[in-house]
C-alpha cells in the first residue's frame, strides 16, 4: 500500500535515534582529542633515528652512509658526514652524521629510507599530530629531534623490534666470537 | 492562574502606563514577545535539528560549544555576522538587498493570527486563516526576487523551481484547510480553536480525530513541508545538486536571514496546522486542563518540529517531476475527496453512519489514487530521438 | 482621510508610477506587485477584510508571480528594454492622463453617493458572500468555473503543441 515504505523508514530512523543512546553499535563516533582509535602495529607516519643506550650522541646507530638520502624520492633528507669516527654496537669504528635533517612537509611516508638502511638506524614512527605554528623551521627536524631511544621502537612496533633485536644480538655474538678467535689462532 | 499569566501581566503594565501612550504600549507588548520567542525557538531548533539528525545518522551532533552544544547558535550567529558580505558585481543590488528583508517581514506577519493560548492572540481577525494564506503567498515573490537578482543561471533555476513547487502545493494546503473551515463554520482562528476545545467523554473534539481530519492533517503537513522547502521537498535548495539554489550568491548575514525566514515559515505553518487540526491550545485529555494553554501550544509545536526533523532524516529528496506529479495527481484529488468527506460528516447525524461514510470516501479514493501513483512509477521504454 | 490612508495611497501610487517608469522589465513587475499590495491594504483600511485579503492572495500571490514567470519564460529577463527615449512624447502622455483624471474626478464628485449623508456601510460578511454565491449567483459561478477550466485546458494544449512541433 502506498505509504508503507515511508512508515518503515520512519520506524528504522526512530530505532536508530533511540538506540544511539543505549547501543554502542548505533553511535560509532570516536570523539577525537579525548578518545582515540587504536593504532595498527604497522602504521607509519614519519621516520625517526634509533639510538641504543641512554646517550643520543654516542648510541646513534646511523653511520652517515647516505643511502637513505640518495634513495628518498622527494629528497627530504639532508646528511653531512662527520670528520671523526666513533665505535658502533659491535665495536667497529664508524662515521656518524654531523647534520641529519628531514623536512616534515616534504616527507611522503613511503618508508623507502627504512627499507634501504643497512644498519637498522632509521625507522617509522606513528605519531601524526605534528603540526606547528612555527613557519620558519618548525617543520625541519634536526638530529636532536629525530633521535629516539630503542625502547620507543620496541614499544610501538614490537614484532619488528623483536626480529631486529634477534638479528643484532646474533651479529654481536659473531663479532665477539671473531674478536676472541684471532687470539686463539695467532 | 498561570494560564492567563501573560495576559494579566500585560494588563498590569498597561495599567501603569499613561493613557496617551497606552495604544502604543499595548501594541509593543503584543509584538515584542513574538519577536523574541520565535527567533529563540529558531536558534534552539537549529541546534536540536543537527543533534537529532546526527543521532539518526549514528553520530553526535555539535557538542563542543556549550553544554552539550547548546550554544552552537551563538557560534553560528557570530560566524554569519563576521563573514564578508559578497555581492556579485553583475547582480541587481537593490533587489538583491531587498529580497531577504521582504522574506523576513513576510515571515513574521502570520504569527499575528495564531492563538498561542487562551485569549493570547495578537490580532483577532475575522478572516484569520485567509490572512495567513495571503501572506504566505507573498513570500513566493521574495524567493523569486532572491533567485533572479543574483544573475546566476543556477540560482534562477532554483528560484523558478521553488516558486513552481510553492504554487503547486498551495492548492492542497488550501483545500485541506477549507475542510476545517467548513466544519468550524468560521475563518477566524480563535473560533476554530474554541470549537475544538470541548470534550466528549475522554476524547477531545480535535478535528484530527475524525477520518477527514486525519487525512486532511496528513495532507496539510505534507503540503506544509513542501511550502517551506523542507526535505524531502528541498530540491530548490538542493544542497548537493545546485548548491544552494536560489540563495547561492548570498553570504554571511543575509544567508542567515534566509535561514531564519525559512524556519519561521516552518513554525508558522506548523502553528496553523495545530490551530486547524490539533485543537490549538486545548489539552488532549479532560484531566490535563490544569496545564496552561500556551504550554500545550508549544508542546504541540515542538512535537511537529520533531516530526519535521524525523522526516528530514529519513526520506531522500524528491525529484522535480516526482514532486509535481505528486502534488497535482495525488494530493489535489485527495484533498477534494477530503472536502467531500468533511461535508458528509457535517450533514450526517452523529453516530456510526457518518464515521463509516467519511472513512469510506477517503479509503476508496486513497486506494485508487495510490494505484495510479504506483503504475506510473514503472520505467517507460526508452525512446530515441535522432537529429534529422 | 487619515494618515494611514495617505501613506497607503502614496505607496500604491509610487508603485504604479515605478511600474511605468523603471527600466528593467522585472523591476516593473515587482513595482506592480507593490501597487497591488498597496491596493489590498487600502481595502483592509476600509474594513473589507475578505476583499483585501483576497486581493493580496490572488493579485500579489498569484498574478504577480504569473507575470514574472511569463517575463522570464518569454524574454529571458536579461535584456533590459530601453527606457522611453527622450524623443518620445511624455508631454502628450501627461496631458492625456490629466484629462482622464479630470473627467473621472468630475464624474465621481457629481454622483449621488458623495452628497448623500453617509449610510452605514452594509456588512458583507463572508457568510453572506458565500450564501449569495451559492444560492443567488450559482449559475454565473458555474459558468466562470467552466470558462477557467477551458482556459486551463487550452493553455496546456498550446504548450504541448509547441513541444511536439520540432518533431
**What's the whole-number average pLDDT of chain C?**
83
User: What per-residue confidence (pLDDT) applies to A138?
Assistant: 87
CA-to-CA distance for B282 and B275, rounded, in angstroms? 10
Q: What does the pLDDT average to over A61-77? A: 93
CA A131 to each of CA A43, A140, C37: distance values in angstroms, whole numbers, following the listed order: 18, 12, 59
Instruction: Say if the Cβ atoms of C61 and B134 lie within 8 Å.
Output: yes
Instruction: Say if the Cβ atoms of B55 and A31 lie within 8 Å.
Output: no
CA-to-CA distance for B133 and B248, rounded, in angstroms? 27
Q: Which of B130, B138, B160 sits opposite C50 (nearest CB)?
A: B130
Q: Looking at this predicted complex, what is its ipTM?
A: 0.82
DSSP states of B278-311: S-TT--SSGGGTTS-HHHHHHHHHHHHHHHHHHH
Top-confidence range, A176-180, B132-136, C109-113, C131-135: B132-136
**Is residue B144 within 8 Å of B96, Cβ to Cβ?**
no
Can you tell me which residue has the cell 515587482? C30
CA A50 to each of CA A45, A93, A119, A148, A155: distance values in angstroms, whole numbers, following the listed order: 16, 18, 10, 5, 13
Instruction: Say if the Cβ atoms of A27 and B60 lie within 8 Å.
Output: yes
- Residues in C closer than 8 angstroms to B135, CB to CB, are 56
- Residues in C closer than 8 angstroms to B126, CB to CB, are 49, 125-126
Is A14 within 8 Å of chain B by CB? Answer: yes
Among A26-35, C45-54, C121-130, whose mean pLDDT is lowest?
A: C121-130
Task: Please state whether the peptide bond connecting residue A108 to the residue before it is cis, i.e. omega within 30 degrees of 0.
Answer: no
Searching chain B, which residue's CA lies closest to the CA of residue C125?
B126
CA-to-CA distance for B31 and B29, rounded, in angstroms? 6
CA C127 to each of CA B182, B185, B196, C79: distance values in angstroms, whole numbers, following the listed order: 11, 9, 20, 48
SS3 state at A41? coil
- Residues in B closer than 8 angstroms to C167, CB to CB, are 385
Q: Which of A100, A101, A102, A113 is nearest to A70 (CA)?
A: A113
User: What per-residue confidence (pLDDT) applies to C76?
Assistant: 56
Q: Which of B59, B313, B373 sits opposite A13 (nearest CB)?
A: B313
Is A66 within 8 Å of chain B by CB? Answer: no
**Is residue B113 within 8 Å of B122, Cβ to Cβ?**
yes
Q: Output B145-148 pairs: Cβ under 8 A, ≥24 positions apart.
A: B145/B95, B145/B98, B145/B99, B145/B102, B145/C30, B146/B96, B146/B99, B146/B100, B146/B103, B146/B246, B146/B247, B146/B250, B146/B258, B147/B245, B147/B246, B147/B247, B148/B92, B148/B95, B148/C26, B148/C68, B148/C72, B148/C77
- The Cβ of residue B224 has, within 10 Å, a number of other Cβ atoms equal to 24
Q: Which of B57, B314, B370 sits opposite A9 (nearest CB)?
A: B314
Instruction: Say if the Cβ atoms of B138 and C27 lie within 8 Å.
Output: no
End-to-end CA distance of chain A: 100
Cβ neighbours of residue C46 under 8 Å, at least 6 residues apart? Answer: C52
User: What per-residue confidence (pLDDT) applies to B177?
Assistant: 93
CA-to-CA distance for B136 and B143, rounded, in angstroms? 11
Q: Could you tell me the pLDDT band of residue C121, with boundaries at 50, 70 and 90?
A: low
Q: Which residues of A157-169 are buried (b: 16+ CB within 10 A; e: fewer)?
A: beebbeebeeebe
Q: What is the pLDDT along chain B (388 residues), one digit of tens a residue?
A: 788 888 888 888 888 888 888 888 899 999 999 999 999 999 999 999 999 999 999 888 888 888 888 899 999 999 999 988 888 888 888 888 888 999 999 999 999 999 998 888 888 888 899 999 999 888 888 888 888 888 777 778 778 888 889 999 999 999 999 999 999 888 899 999 999 988 888 888 899 999 999 999 999 999 999 998 887 888 777 655 656 577 777 778 888 898 899 899 999 999 999 999 998 898 888 888 888 889 999 999 999 999 999 999 899 888 888 888 889 999 999 999 999 999 999 888 888 888 999 999 999 999 988 888 777 666 666 777 777 6
Is C69 within 8 Å of chain B by CB? Answer: yes
User: What per-residue confidence (pLDDT) applies to B288?
Assistant: 86
Instruction: Say if the Cβ atoms of C62 and B135 lie within 8 Å.
Output: no
- Residues in B closer than 8 angstroms to A5, CB to CB, are none
Query: Measured on CA atoms in the order B260, B263, B268, B271, is the torsion positive or negative?
Result: negative
Element (H, E) at A86: strand A86-87
Q: Which of C26, C53, C64 sits opposite B148 (nearest CB)?
A: C26
Task: Choose the mutation target among C15, C23, C30 for the interface with B, i.e. most B CBs under 10 Å.
Answer: C30
Chains that touch B (3 or more CB pairs under 8 A): A, C
Cβ neighbours of residue B260 under 8 Å, at least 6 residues apart? Answer: B39, B42, B104, B107
- pTM for the full predicted model: 0.85
Q: What angle do CA C163, C164, C167 make, to 5 degrees?
A: 120
**Is residue B107 within 8 Å of B264, Cβ to Cβ?**
yes
Q: What does the pLDDT average to over A73-88? A: 90
Q: Which of B201, B182, B177 is nearest to B274 (CA)?
A: B177
Q: Strand A140-141's sheet: what is its strand order?
A: A77-81, A97-103, A140-141
Q: Which of C49, C68, C78 sits opposite B144 (nearest CB)?
A: C68
Q: Which three cell numbers mark A163? A: 626480529
User: What per-residue confidence (pLDDT) applies to C126?
Assistant: 80
Among A180-184, C98-102, C109-113, whose mean pLDDT is lowest?
A: A180-184
Do at least 3 CB pairs under 8 Å connect A with C? no
Cβ neighbours of residue B106 under 8 Å, at least 6 residues apart? Answer: B135, B138, B139, B142, B261
Element (H, E) at A123: strand A122-125
CA B174 to each of CA B128, B133, B134, B333: distance values in angstroms, whole numbers, following the listed order: 13, 8, 11, 13
**Is residue B212 within 8 Å of B176, Cβ to Cβ?**
no
Task: Choose the mutation target among B134, B147, B159, B165 for the interface with C, i.e. most C CBs under 10 Å.
Answer: B134
**Is residue A49 within 8 Å of A79, Cβ to Cβ?**
no
Residue C121 or residue B301, greater confidence: B301
CA A169 to each of CA A87, B49, B166: distance values in angstroms, whole numbers, following the listed order: 16, 62, 80
End-to-end CA distance of chain B: 80
CA-to-CA distance for B273 and B110, rounded, in angstroms? 13
End-to-end CA distance of chain C: 62
CA-to-CA distance for A129 and A123, rounded, in angstroms? 18
User: What per-residue confidence (pLDDT) applies to C80?
Assistant: 55
**pLDDT tens column, A86-103:** 888 887 888 999 999 999
Instruction: Say if the Cβ atoms of B59 and A29 lie within 8 Å.
Output: yes
Is A27 within 8 Å of chain B by CB? Answer: yes
Can you tell me which residue has the cell 515584542? B32
Among A120-129, B320-329, C108-117, C141-150, whose mean pLDDT is lowest?
A: C108-117
CA-to-CA distance for B248 and B237, rounded, in angstroms? 9
Amino acid at each position: 500500500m502506498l505509504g508503507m515504505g515511508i512508515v518503515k523508514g520512519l520506524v528504522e530512523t526512530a530505532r536508530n535515534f533511540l538506540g544511539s543512546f543505549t547501543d554502542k553499535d548505533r553511535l560509532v563516533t570516536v570523539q577525537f582529542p579525548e578518545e582515540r582509535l587504536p593504532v595498527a602495529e604497522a602504521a607509519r607516519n614519519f621516520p625517526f633515528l634509533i639510538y641504543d643506550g641512554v646517550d643520543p650522541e654516542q648510541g646513534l646507530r646511523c653511520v652517515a652512509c647516505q643511502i637513505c638520502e640518495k634513495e628518498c624520492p622527494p629528497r627530504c633528507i639532508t646528511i653531512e658526514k662527520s670528520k671523526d669516527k666513533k665505535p658502533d654496537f659491535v665495536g667497529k669504528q664508524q662515521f656518524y652524521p654531523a647534520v641529519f635533517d628531514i623536512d616534515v612537509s616534504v616527507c611522503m611516508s613511503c618508508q623507502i629510507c627504512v627499507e634501504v638502511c643497512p644498519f637498522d638506524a632509521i625507522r617509522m614512527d606513528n605519531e601524526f599530530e605534528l603540526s606547528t605554528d612555527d613557519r620558519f623551521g618548525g617543520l625541519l627536524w634536526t638530529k636532536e629531534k629525530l633521535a629516539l631511544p630503542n625502547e620507543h621502537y620496541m614499544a610501538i612496533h614490537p614484532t619488528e623490534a623483536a626480529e631486529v633485536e634477534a638479528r643484532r644480538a646474533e651479529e654481536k655474538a659473531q663479532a665477539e666470537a671473531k674478536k676472541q678467535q684471532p687470539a686463539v689462532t695467532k | 492562574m498561570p494560564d492567563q499569566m501573560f495576559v494579566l501581566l500585560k494588563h498590569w503594565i498597561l495599567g501603569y502606563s499613561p493613557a496617551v501612550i497606552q495604544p502604543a504600549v499595548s501594541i509593543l507588548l503584543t509584538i515584542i514577545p513574538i519577536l523574541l520567542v520565535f527567533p529563540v525557538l529558531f536558534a534552539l531548533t537549529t541546534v536540536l535539528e543537527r543533534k537529532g539528525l546526527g543521532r539518526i545518522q549514528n553520530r553526535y551532533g555539535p557538542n563542543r560549544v556549550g553544554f552539550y552544544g547548546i550554544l552552537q547558535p551563538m557560534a553560528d550567529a557570530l560566524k554569519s555576522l563576521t563573514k564578508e558580505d559578497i555581492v556579485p558585481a553583475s547582480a541587481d543590488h537593490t533587489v538583491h538587498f531587498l529580497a531577504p528583508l521582504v522574506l523576513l517581514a513576510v515571515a513574521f506577519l502570520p504569527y499575528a493570527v495564531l492563538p498561542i493560548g487562551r485569549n493570547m492572540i495578537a490580532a483577532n481577525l475575522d478572516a484569520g486563516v485567509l490572512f495567513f494564506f495571503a501572506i504566505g503567498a507573498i513570500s513566493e515573490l521574495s524567493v523569486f526576487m532572491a533567485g533572479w537578482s543574483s544573475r546566476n543561471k543556477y540560482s534562477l533555476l532554483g528560484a523558478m523551481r521553488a516558486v513552481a513547487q510553492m504554487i503547486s502545493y498551495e492548492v492542497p494546503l488550501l483545500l485541506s484547510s477549507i475542510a476545517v473551515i467548513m466544519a468550524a463554520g468560521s475563518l477566524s482562528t480563535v473560533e476554530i480553536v474554541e470549537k475544538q476545545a470541548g470534550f466528549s467523554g475522554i476524547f477531545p473534539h480535535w478535528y484530527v480525530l475524525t477520518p477527514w481530519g486525519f487525512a486532511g492533517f496528513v495532507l496539510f503537513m505534507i503540503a506544509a513541508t513542501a511550502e517551506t522547502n523542507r526535505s524531502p521537498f528541498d530540491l530548490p535548495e538542493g544542497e548537493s545538486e545546485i548548491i544552494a539554489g536560489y540563495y547561492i550568491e548570498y553570504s554571511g548575514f543575509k544567508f542567515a536571514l534566509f535561514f531564519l525566514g525559512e524556519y519561521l515559515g516552518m513554525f508558522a505553518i506548523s502553528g496553523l496546522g495545530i490551530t486547524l487540526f490539533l485543537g490549538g491550545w486545548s489539552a488532549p485529555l479532560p484531566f490535563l486542563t490544569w496545564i496552561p494553554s500556551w504550554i500545550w501550544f508549544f508542546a504541540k509545536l515542538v512535537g511537529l518540529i520533531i516530526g519535521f526533523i524525523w522526516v528530514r532524516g529519513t526520506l531522500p529528496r524528491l525529484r522535480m517531476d516526482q514532486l509535481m506529479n505528486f502534488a497535482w495527481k495525488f494530493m489535489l484529488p485527495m484533498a477534494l475527496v477530503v472536502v467531500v468527506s468533511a461535508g458528509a460528516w457535517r450533514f450526517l447525524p452523529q453516530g456510526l453512519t457518518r464515521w463509516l461514510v467519511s472513512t469510506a470516501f477517503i479509503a476508496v479514493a486513497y486506494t485508487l489514487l495510490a494505484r495510479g501513483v504506483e503504475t506510473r512509477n514503472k520505467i517507460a521504454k526508452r525512446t530515441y530521438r535522432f537529429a534529422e | 482621510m487619515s494618515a494611514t490612508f495617505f501613506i497607503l495611497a502614496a505607496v500604491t501610487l509610487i508603485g504604479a508610477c515605478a511600474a511605468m517608469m523603471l527600466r528593467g522589465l522585472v523591476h516593473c513587475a515587482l513595482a506592480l506587485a507593490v501597487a497591488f499590495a498597496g491596493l489590498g491594504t487600502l481595502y483592509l483600511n476600509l474594513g473589507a477584510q475578505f476583499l483585501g485579503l483576497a486581493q493580496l492572495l490572488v493579485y500579489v500571490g498569484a498574478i504577480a508571480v504569473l507575470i514574472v514567470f511569463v517575463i522570464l519564460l518569454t524574454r529571458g529577463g536579461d535584456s533590459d528594454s530601453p527606457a522611453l527615449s527622450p524623443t518620445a512624447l511624455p508631454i502628450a502622455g501627461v496631458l492625456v492622463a490629466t484629462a482622464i483624471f479630470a473627467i473621472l474626478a468630475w464624474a465621481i464628485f457629481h454622483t449621488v453617493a458623495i452628497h448623500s449623508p453617509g449610510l452605514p456601510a452594509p456588512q458583507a460578511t463572508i457568510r453572506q458572500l458565500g450564501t449569495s454565491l451559492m444560492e443567488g449567483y450559482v449559475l454565473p459561478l458555474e459558468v466562470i468555473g467552466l470558462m477557467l477550466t477551458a482556459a486551463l485546458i487550452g493553455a496546456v494544449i498550446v504548450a504541448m503543441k509547441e513541444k511536439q512541433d520540432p518533431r
